[in-house]
Structure 1
Amino acid sequence: MSGSNDDLMKVYVFKSLPPVLWGYTRDIRVMWALEECGIPYETVGLDCGPNGLQDEVEYGQINPFKQVPAIADDGYVLAESGAILLYLAEKSGKLIPRNLKERAQVYRWLITSLNNIEPFALLVLFADMQGNSNPHMQGLRPWNAEILDRFLPQIDEMLKTQPFVVGSEFTVADIILTCVLRELRKNEILQKYPNVERYRQSCEERPAFVKVLDDYEDRLGIERGSAR
C-alpha cells in the first residue's frame, strides 16, 4: 500500500545497494509488515555507497546510527526493525494476538530470532560472501554453524506440528524469523531442517511478501528475481 502523501507513514529504505546485499536488508521486514497490516506508507530511498550511509547527512537526524530501516509516523520516529514491527502490529491490531500469553510468545520468538539466530546466521553469510579473501572469517564459520545447529533443531521440531511459530496465526515473529532464515537460504545449513525450510518458503509465498520483493527490486532497478 505504498504511495505519496504528506500524511502517509514514511519508511526509510535503500534505493541503491551493492549486489552482494540484494535481498538481505532489513527494510524488507518493515515493508512486509506494512503490507500485511494494510497500513498506507511512502518510501524514502537512501543510497548505500562504499561507506554505507555516511553521506546521508540529513538521515542522521532521523536515525543517529544511520542504519536502515526507520519510520516516521506523524512526527514520531522509530528505528530498529524489531521495534518497528511491534509498533506496526500494535498500531494496526494485526499480526499480534490479544491474549497476553500468546503475545508473550510473539515477543519471545521475535527476540530469539534477533538475539540467538541472526548474529550467527550473519557471520556465516559474511564468511560465504567474502570467501577465501578473509581466512579469519572462514575459520570461524564452522563454529557459527555449530551454534545455529543448537537452535534450529528445536524450531524444526516445533514446525513439524504447527504452521507458524506461535501456532496457527501468522505474526510479526514470523516476519522476523523468515527474514533471518533468508540469510541462510543459499548455503547448506537449512537443508538439514526440512520443516524450517518448508516454513521459510511458505512464508515467502505470501502475497504481501511477493509484492514487497517486487517493489524492492524495482526500487533498486535490478532484474526480477535478483533479490529472491
Structure 2
Amino acid sequence: MKVYVFKSLPPFLWGYTRDIRAMWALEECGIAYETIGLDCGPNGLQDETWFEKISPFKQIPAIDDDGYILTESGAILLYLAEKSGKLIPSDLQGRAQVYRWLITSLNNIEPFALPVLFADLQGDSNPHLKALRPWHVDILGRFLPKIDQIVQNQPFLMGSSFTVADIAFTCVLREIRKTEILAGYPNIVKYRSRCEERPAFGKVLDAYEDRLGIARGSAR
C-alpha cells in the first residue's frame, strides 16, 4: 500500500499533520506500506499538479491500495481497520460505536481545537481569530469534561480495546497539546500519554521526524 505523506513542512506544523494518523493505523494494523513524500507548499497545499488526480483537494494523507485511492484521514482510518480486521470490533453495534467516537473527534472536537491552534500560531497578526479563541475553548468545555469522566475508569474510548477512534481522538488532542486547555482534564492527559506510549506511535513519529529531517523530539 502506498501512503502519501509530507516530506517537508514549516516548523510550526511539525507534529500536527494528519499523515501521522494514517501511518499510525497502518503500523497498528500490520499493513505493509511505502511512503511517498510531498513538499508542503506556501499555503499548506501541494504544488504538484499531478497529485490532484489522487487527492482532489490536494490534501494529505491519501492512500493507494493497489489502485484503490482514498483520501480524508477519518475515512482512511476506518478503511484500514475494516481491511485488516484490527482496531475495530467485529460486530455491527461495536463498529458503530467506533464510528461514533471517531466522528465525535472530527466533528465536535477538531472544529474547535484547530482554531485555537491557529489563533496561537498567528497571534496578533490575526486579531479576529485571537478574539474568538475563548469562545472555541468554551465550546471544547462542552465535550472534554464528559470524555474525561469516561477515560477515568477505562483505558480507551471503547473500554479495554484500542481502536481507530483512539487514533483519531489522540491526534486531535495533539492540536491543543501545547495550550493550557488539557491541564484541566487530568484523565484525558493520562489517556493521551497511554496512547502515545504505544510502540506503533513511537515508530511512526520517529520516521516522521527522520523524513522531515528534523531533530528527534521536534514533533512531540
The TM tier, using the shorter chain, reads over 0.9
1:76 matched residue in structure 2: 68
Matched, 1:208 2:184: no
Aligned partner (choices 10, 22, 25) of residue 14 of structure 2? 22
Shift of 1:53: 2.8
| 1:45-84 alignment, distance < 5 Å | 45-84=37-76
Within 1, Cα distance between the matches of 2:29 and 2:173? 22
| Deviation of the 1:51 alpha carbon | 2.8
Deviation string 1:126-151 (CA, Å, 9 cap, x unpaired) is 00111111111110000000000000
The partner residue of 2:167 within 172, 175, 187 is: 175
Contact 2:39–2:46 (CA<8 Å) still a contact in 1?
no
1:62-110 Cα offsets, whole Å, 9 max, x none, are: 0111000000001000000000010000110000001222111100000
- Give distance in 2, aligned partners of 1:53 and 1:129: 18
Q: Deviations over 1:168-227 (max 9, x none)?
A: 100000000000001111011000000011100110010000000000000000000000
Is 1:195 matched with 2:187?
A: yes
In 2, Cα distance between equivalents of 1:177 and 1:130: 24
1:139 aligns with 2:138: no
Which SS does the other structure have where 1:156 is aligned? helix
Give identity over the alignment, percent: 77
The 3-state SS of whatever aligns with 2:3 is strand
Query: Structure 2: 5+ residue runs without aligned partners?
Result: none
* 1:217 and 2:209 matched: yes
Q: Give the structure 1 partner of residue 120 of structure 2.
A: 128
Quote the residue 1:4 is aligned against: none
Contact 1:11/1:71, CA 8 A, preserved across alignment: yes
Give 1:221's aligned amino acid. G
Match of 1:107 in 2: 99
**CA–CA separation in structure 2 for the residues paired with 1:74 and 1:148:** 39
Which AA in structure 2 matches 1:78?
L
TM-score (norm 1): 0.95
Q: 1:14 Cα deviation (Å)?
A: 0.3
Work out whether residues 87 and 164 of structure 2, in 8 Å CA contact, stay in contact via their aligned partners in 1: yes
Question: How many angstroms apart in 1 are the aligned matches of 2:4 and 2:92?
Answer: 31
Write out the 4+ residue segments of structure 1 that deviate beyond 3 Å after TM superposition.
none
Alignment correspondent of 1:154: 146
Q: Match of 1:226?
A: 218
Q: Distance in 2 between matches of 1:54 and 1:18?
A: 13
Is the 8 Å Cα contact of residues 29 and 84 (structure 2) preserved in structure 1?
yes
CA drift of 1:54 comes to 4.4
Give secondary structure in 2 for the equivalent of 1:222: coil
